[in-house]
Structure 1
Amino acid sequence: MTNDAAYDALIIGNGALGLALGFRLAQRGQRVSIVGPSGRRFSASQAAGAMNGTFGEVTRDLLASAHGRQKLEMDIAATDLWEGWCEEIRDAAGEPQASLRRKDGTTIILNGGGTDAVDTENFVAIREALSEYERSYQMLEGHEVPWVTAQGGNRPFQGVHIPDEHSINTPVYLPTLEKAFRSVGGLMIDGLVQKIGSPRSSETGWVELADGRKFYAHNIVLAAGALSHDLLASSLPEIAPYVPPVTSGYGASVLLSHGAVPAPPSVIRTPNRAFACGLHAVPRKEGIYVGATNKLQEKPQLFAHVPDLHALLERAMRQMHAGFGTSGVLAVNVGNRPVPVDGFPLIGALPDTRLWMLTGTYRDGFHQSPYLADKMAEAILDGVQDPLLEAFAPVRSPIQSGRRDDIIAAAVDHALAVGFEAEWRVSVRWPTRIAELLATKYRHAVEDLHDTITPPPDVLVCMSDNDWLRRKLRGYYDVYSRKRGFSDIRPQIDVA
């Protein structure tokens, strides 16, 4: 393809976000191509439980942060779009009967597998947010929670059912969305992008694939998930240092056969805990989806780690349904969530270019995809920048989602929650002592990193044991400490 035959937009990444934006741009008459490996082997979307998690994702720390509340408002806006979005996708794909979404609601359980410092406080935060935003919910006593047959002390104490928080049937949804994109003139290119030539001013940009093919476009969107920052750094080294590095939130999940287990009547999940999205079971046509682990890694992972699968299956049997002992493993899913080092998404254009970023959404990308597709299309085609997204511009000062002492305390709480969920056997004196040791370790690690900036709890814990993440953070923070190149911007200490 030559410059004369350039696309209007070329999207790097064929997950839920890239496909949604491609569909919306092509609908508006743009010549759009989406580039990515057809198997989506590094994608988070392919492996997602795809819960429409809005209030189910609420935590005490989210509500305490101004940026966290912005993220919640984006989730709420997305919730209100999904019904119409699914109808649009089905109509465009010519699949009016396609089962894209299960509308069963979500039941969140507070059970004995967690801790007061994490599970109870997050459960209360969920209930408070539902009331504050005037959303429908029903409180349940432990014995009223349906389906769950937990063992011993893992039984649920309370539950909250959210009737409007559903789940997406990913095995049907992604192919249907791809078909809808093709039906409005979009083109899929199977390949792995190796380098980007950024479009500037009136110039046309380009992408080069690993096999040598080259494609041109007036706008290029980087929606390659956990691979996005590495691709940016290799292509635009003068800009990349000012963008928060993106790590891979590797996660494993399984699809189980029913065995002696009936299908859950809705999504059943715990609050977010132990640096992850909690334990959850999602009804699927083929069986029951159970997820999910979360571990920050330097590079995206292709295979599930044995200890993670062992822990996930054991917790599913203990906390969700003892009958899973009769189930078979139909599939093991591996996904790589894009996790910026400050914990917030990267959305918008890079300075003086028409290279856009749509990534860093961590666990929210699938759910927010209809909303972000609309807003990004408006920004690209109409020059309209939604105020809700301005704080998440890719080139920005580091966002700190609370005071240093509070972040360290949250890191300790979640680290201890990992042990309690694994039913560790320690003397009653040891959790307090372990907490003191961890707090000292994390404080020393972050004080050695930077005088004032503190990364979010999950990044802090990973950084304290990993040189590769420490180097990424130090390089990013040093750019802003020296105030080179871009405007004089200071770290945002973000407390709502």
Structure 2
Amino acid sequence: MTHTALYDWCVIGGGIAGLAAARALAQRGQRVAIVEQGKFGNGATAAAGGMLAPLVEARVAEPHTLHFGFEALRFYPEFIRQLEAEAEMEVGYRTDGTLVVGVDRDQTEQLRHLFAEQQRLQLPVEWFSGYELRELEPYLSPTIAGGIRSGYDHQVDNQLLAEALRRTLVRLDVGVMEGVGELHPQRVDGIWKIEGDGVPGTPLAAANVLLAEGASARALRRLLPELGRHLRPVKGQVLRLDQRELHLLDHVVRTPEVYLVPKSDGRLVVGASAEEQGFDDRITAGVMFELLRAAWECVPAIRELPILETTVGFRPATSDHLPLIGWTPIPGLAVATGYYRHGILFAPYAAQLLAAHVVEGSSSQWIQTFSPERFHGLDR
């Protein structure tokens, strides 16, 4: 069969991981196609809160995750500057910082322990009294006695970010294909053939394939079932409220039970559950109640805000909660997935490290740490 195109790379998956990786590969002179079964930027990318918050995750983060998060956040300002220029649009990047507050005595004590741990790690955080917190955010509950301010944690509008990446790919002459059927990559005579309903010029041909599908990981599970067993979906339910008329918050505000993320267009993101429920995509009354209750305890006036939408996403989590980045045992097959709760933060920096590794042969501590080879006994 005659192939209509031979790409250097076919990226499978159009979430933040795949979009960022396709851009990084194309910027290194690679001929790239990116293929997505649904819409670009959907799934976990669309559902995310868009927080860039390695500091406030310190209490739950594995040390590698924390330190990689610092490096990824330092990478962000220049990445955003370049991307906004390339795409000719803004992506809602904000540096207001994050407030982590306790709505009662137990939560406040919990945060004091977190603050002590952060100080031990020499993280740039401050303890604020309830009065000082309400000076910053007057709508916070009067029951809040104290909390942590992290000016180092930022945020971005994840949906605008995905659109900016898509626009940039078009301008880089990346083959952009979405809304296709289930994809079936297979390697024949040293060339990858990617078949699927709706893929132009099927089978699409590429020298290499990057699997960046996220939690579904259908192609990864078929090609490397042993590795696929280390990847699972973690369900997250999210609400988006409208604060355009009653503007409640400027900072990201978190409690131990909920986060509230104000966006530049007036949306307020409230999330998120973390459920081991497989791919059950139903919105449940119980989770919505718990999120709204926790949000109301933090910001009582939130009860006045209209609900714009409810969303479900599935975070791709590995068995050790570290990403999968780099070559697999199958020739010409690489992965970029498993970013779990940190996809928006990790993806741009991880994409640069991955592209430098697979195109230029460079390595780094992180490529070694996040290599799929850490899971022994992979199928070949």
Which whole-Å CA distance do the structure 2 matches of 1:224 and 1:291 have between them?
23
Within the alignment, does 1:266 sit opposite 2:257 as a pair? no
Within the alignment, does 1:71 sit opposite 2:65 as a pair? yes
Q: Which residue of 2 aligns with 1:109?
A: 101
Deviations 1:183-236 (A, max 9, x none): 111121113463443558x711122224574322111111111011x43222x2
Q: Aligned residues: percent identity? A: 24
Within the alignment, does 1:225 sit opposite 2:245 as a pair? no
Instruction: Give runs of aligned pairs for residues 95-134 of structure 1, distance below 5 A.
Output: 95=89, 98-112=90-104, 119-129=111-121, 131=122
Which whole-Å CA distance do the structure 2 matches of 1:20 and 1:2 have between them?
30
Q: Which residue of 1 aligns with 2:83?
A: 89
Segments of 5+ residues of structure 2 without an aligned counterpart are none
1:251 CA drift (Å): 0.8
Which whole-Å CA distance do the structure 2 matches of 1:206 and 1:114 have between them?
57
Corresponding letter in the other structure for 2:65: K
Which whole-Å CA distance do the structure 1 matches of 2:156 and 2:214 have between them?
19
CA contact (8 A) 2:234 2:276 kept: yes
1:20 match: secondary structure: helix
Higher relative contact order (CA 8 A, sep 6+): 2
Corresponding letter in the other structure for 2:204: F
Deviations 1:229-282 (A, max 9, x none): x43222x2xx321454322111111111228742412111135xxxxxx41111
Q: Which residue of 2 aligns with 1:442?
A: none
TM-score, structure 1 normalization: 0.69
1:122 CA drift (Å): 3.4
1:55 match: secondary structure: coil
Q: Name which of structure 1's ranges 253-262 and 289-298 shifts more when overlaid on structure 2.
A: 253-262
Q: Which residue of 2 aligns with 1:315?
A: 294
Judging by fraction of residues, say which structure has more strand.
Answer: 2
Structure-2 change in CA distance of 1:384 and 1:259 (3 Å): closer
1:51 CA drift (Å): 0.5
Corresponding letter in the other structure for 1:7: Y
Which whole-Å CA distance do the structure 1 matches of 2:378 and 2:309 have between them?
49
**Total equivalences in the alignment:** 375
Instruction: Give runs of aligned pairs for residues 440-451 of structure 1, distance below 5 A.
Output: none
1:115 CA drift (Å): 5.2
Within the alignment, does 1:209 sit opposite 2:196 as a pair? yes
1:364 match: secondary structure: helix
137, 144, 148: which one aligns with 1:160? 148
289, 313, 337: which one aligns with 1:335? 313
Q: Name which of structure 1's ranges 111-120 and 360-369 shifts more when overlaid on structure 2.
A: 111-120
Judging by fraction of residues, say which structure has more helix.
Answer: 1
Corresponding letter in the other structure for 2:292: L
Q: Which residue of 1 aligns with 2:159?
A: 171
What is the Cα-based RMSD across aligned positions, in Å? Answer: 2.7
TM-score, structure 2 normalization: 0.89
Within the alignment, does 1:366 sit opposite 2:344 as a pair? yes
341, 356, 360: which one aligns with 1:378? 356
Q: Name which of structure 1's ranges 27-36 and 386-395 shifts more when overlaid on structure 2.
A: 386-395
Q: Which residue of 2 aligns with 1:184?
A: 172
1:45 CA drift (Å): 0.8
1:368 CA drift (Å): 1.1
Corresponding letter in the other structure for 1:128: R
Q: Which has the larger Rg?
A: 1
1:247 match: secondary structure: strand
Which whole-Å CA distance do the structure 2 matches of 1:163 and 1:303 have between them?
35
Q: Name which of structure 1's ranges 112-121 and 366-375 shifts more when overlaid on structure 2.
A: 112-121
